[in-house]
């Protein structure tokens, strides 16, 4: 369901910078961003004297190893997996296949605009260890089998600690995992200092017979209310790059909205008209046409999306800017899906005039009619498209009772 975000997810490289400050073992790494590809490319390869490196997509999602890359314009499959252990000579071949493309994982679709290259290590065993905020203090989760299998494993242990978490408490957890108490304590300190709601190391790797440990992957979520204390977590990338793509189960209408309130209303009216949202992309109050374009291209390539509803109430965001983004997105894509656009507020007429007559674009300023149109066109597209979405086949014909009708009143 629609969940308001109350935390900021850090990129893996930011999480590892945090671990580094607490002297936790991480691999030496660099980050390559989109646009740095050409000038830095040659150095990157020569910088690495080690036998193998691990090349990792920097996107805010788990399960990258199991994912694959798609070209956002064509939907073509370009590369299997978001995590590659390879000799350094292969870095330059991987980077262009990752940067600028969309990493598709079980958890969603994320545009990859940065890649981490780190010195690879041997992995003998993988452990799992996580700290989470609990009502009474801290909740520690651990598993002696970490890595990719964790999602399917039922033997994850949990303990809650209220009050102090010191070396004795750390030692209890450490003995379960057969690792050093100081490592557990340092991880806890990193968690606390960052005002994190979650700090998860999956996996902690044992890299040799001596039991040397390495934090291979780190996921950190930071309480948004505490962000003012952490300028170090402000992303260097513009906001338009970081997605606020909320995925929902069992829906097929992609929704591009501005603001959480409008997102809720959009969801309600779609449900009321017999449809279901596939996702919400909140472009916020500071959107640019580039961000609108990226959002729409993401939805055009997302196979669960049968129709796209752009529902924007202009204020700071202007209707013509949204329309410009729509036009640019369609110009870049070979995919065809019905696009319903409802613009209200600032410059909506200008936006409407830009979009009128574009094939596949339906401009409908009325909220309710736009919703019904989205439901109808999504169900039509689902029935005719090759993948034949099982969702909502008959949604347009479904019966429903408006909840505000007189009969419902007590
Ligand atoms: P995730 O798929 O998003 O969770 O990304 P991870 O960073 O956890 O990487 C996925 C998997 O790749 C890990 O569970 C490891 O098995 C493997 N992996 C990652 N880094 C290394 C490395 O340096 N060496 C080796 N041998 N495997 C690695
Ligand atoms: Mn992982």
- Is the CB of 86 inside a 6 Å radius of any atom of ligand 1? no
Position 22 pLDDT exceeds 70: yes
* Residue 255 and residue 311 in contact, taking contact as beta carbons nearer than 8 Å: yes
Position 233 pLDDT exceeds 70: yes
Predicted local confidence at residue 250, as pLDDT: 84
Position 405 pLDDT exceeds 70: no
- Is the CB of 257 inside a 6 Å radius of any atom of ligand 1? no
Which residue would you say has higher pLDDT here, 170 or 334?
170
Q: Could you give the CA distance from residue 198 to residue 206 in angstroms, rounded to a whole number?
A: 22
Position 408 pLDDT exceeds 80: no
* Residue 286 and residue 322 in contact, taking contact as beta carbons nearer than 8 Å: no
Question: 84 C-alpha vs ligand 2 centroid, how far in Å?
Answer: 13
Which atom of ligand 1 is closest in space to residue 147's alpha carbon? 14
- Is the CB of 147 inside a 6 Å radius of any atom of ligand 1? yes
Which atom of ligand 1 is closest in space to residue 67's alpha carbon? 2
Q: Per residue in 265-281, pLDDT tens?
A: 999 999 999 999 998 88
Q: Per residue in 32-56, pLDDT tens?
A: 988 777 655 556 666 788 999 999 9
Question: 180 C-alpha vs ligand 2 centroid, how far in Å?
Answer: 21
Phi, then psi, of 94 in degrees rounded to 5 = -75, -40
Predicted local confidence at residue 344, as pLDDT: 92
Q: Per residue in 327-356, pLDDT tens?
A: 988 888 877 899 999 999 889 999 999 998
Which atom of ligand 1 is closest in space to residue 122's alpha carbon? 26
Question: Lowest mean pLDDT: which of 225-229, 240-244, 293-297, 321-325?
Answer: 240-244
Predicted local confidence at residue 381, as pLDDT: 87
List Cα–Cα distances, 298 to 8, 152, 162, 221, in angstroms. Answer: 21, 29, 43, 24
Q: Per residue in 366-389, pLDDT tens?
A: 999 999 999 999 999 888 765 544
Q: Could you give the CA distance from residue 88 to residue 119 in angstroms, rounded to a whole number?
A: 9
Question: How much is the average pLDDT of 308-313?
Answer: 95
Which residue would you say has higher pLDDT here, 7 or 387?
7
Question: 112 C-alpha vs ligand 2 centroid, how far in Å?
Answer: 17
Position 232 pLDDT exceeds 90: no
Closest CA to 378 of 355, 363, 394: 394
pLDDT band at 399 (very low <50, low <70, confident <90, very high): very low
DSSP H helix total and E strand total for the chain: 10, 21
Q: Could you give the CA distance from residue 292 to residue 303 in angstroms, rounded to a whole number?
A: 19
Q: Per residue in 189-230, pLDDT tens?
A: 999 999 999 999 999 999 999 999 999 999 999 988 888 888
**Can you spell out the DSSP letters for 18-86?**
HHHHTT-----EEEEETT-HHHHHHHHHHH--SS-EEEEE--S-S-GGG-EEE-TTT--EEEE-SEEEE
Question: 203 C-alpha vs ligand 1 centroid, how far in Å?
Answer: 7
Question: How much is the average pLDDT of 133-150?
Answer: 86
* Residue 296 and residue 325 in contact, taking contact as beta carbons nearer than 8 Å: yes
Residue 38: is it exposed, middle or buried by C-beta count within 10 angstroms (0-12/13-18/19+)? exposed
């Amino acid at each position: 369901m629609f969940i308001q975000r109350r935390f900021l997810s850090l990129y893996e490289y930011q999480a590892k910078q945090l671990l580094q400050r607490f002297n936790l073992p991480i691999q030496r790494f660099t980050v390559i961003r989109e646009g740095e590809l050409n000038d830095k490319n040659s150095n990157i390869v020569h910088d690495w004297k080690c036998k193998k490196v691990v090349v990792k997509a920097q996107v805010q999602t788990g399960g990258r190893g199991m994912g694959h890359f798609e070209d956002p314009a064509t939907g073509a499959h370009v590369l299997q997996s978001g995590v590659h252990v390879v000799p350094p000579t292969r870095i330059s071949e991987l980077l262009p296949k990752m940067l600028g493309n969309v990493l598709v994982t079980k958890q969603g679709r994320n545009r990859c605009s940065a890649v981490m290259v780190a010195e690879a290590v041997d992995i003998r065993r993988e452990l799992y260890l996580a700290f989470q905020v609990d009502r009474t203090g801290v909740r520690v989760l651990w598993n002696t089998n970490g890595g990719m299998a964790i999602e399917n494993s039922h033997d994850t242990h949990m303990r809650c600690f209220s009050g102090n978490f010191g070396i004795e408490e750390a030692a209890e957890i450490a003995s379960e995992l057969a690792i050093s108490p100081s490592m557990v304590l340092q991880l806890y300190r990193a968690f606390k200092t960052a005002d994190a709601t979650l700090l998860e190391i999956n996996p902690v790797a044992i890299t040799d017979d001596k039991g040397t440990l390495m934090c291979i992957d780190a996921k950190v979520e930071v309480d948004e209310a505490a962000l003012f204390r952490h300028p170090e977590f402000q992303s260097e990338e513009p906001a338009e790059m970081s997605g606020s793509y909320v995925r929902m189960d069992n829906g097929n209408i992609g929704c591009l909205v501005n603001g959480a309130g409008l997102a809720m209303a959009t969801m309600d009216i779609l449900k009321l008209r017999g449809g279901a949202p596939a996702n919400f992309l909140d472009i916020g109050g500071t959107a640019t046409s580039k961000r609108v374009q990226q959002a729409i291209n993401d939805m055009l390539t997302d196979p669960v999306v049968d129709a796209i509803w752009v529902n924007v109430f202009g204020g700071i965001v202007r209707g013509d800017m949204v329309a410009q983004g729509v036009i640019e997105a369609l110009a870049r894509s070979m995919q065809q899906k019905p696009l319903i656009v409802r613009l209200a507020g600032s410059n909506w007429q200008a936006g409407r005039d830009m979009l009128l007559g574009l094939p596949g674009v339906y401009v409908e300023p009325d909220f309710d009619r736009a919703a019904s149109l989205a439901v109808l066109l999504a169900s039509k597209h689902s029935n005719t498209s090759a993948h034949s979405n099982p969702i909502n086949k008959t949604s347009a014909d479904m019966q429903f009772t408006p909840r505000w009708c007189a009969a419902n009143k007590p």
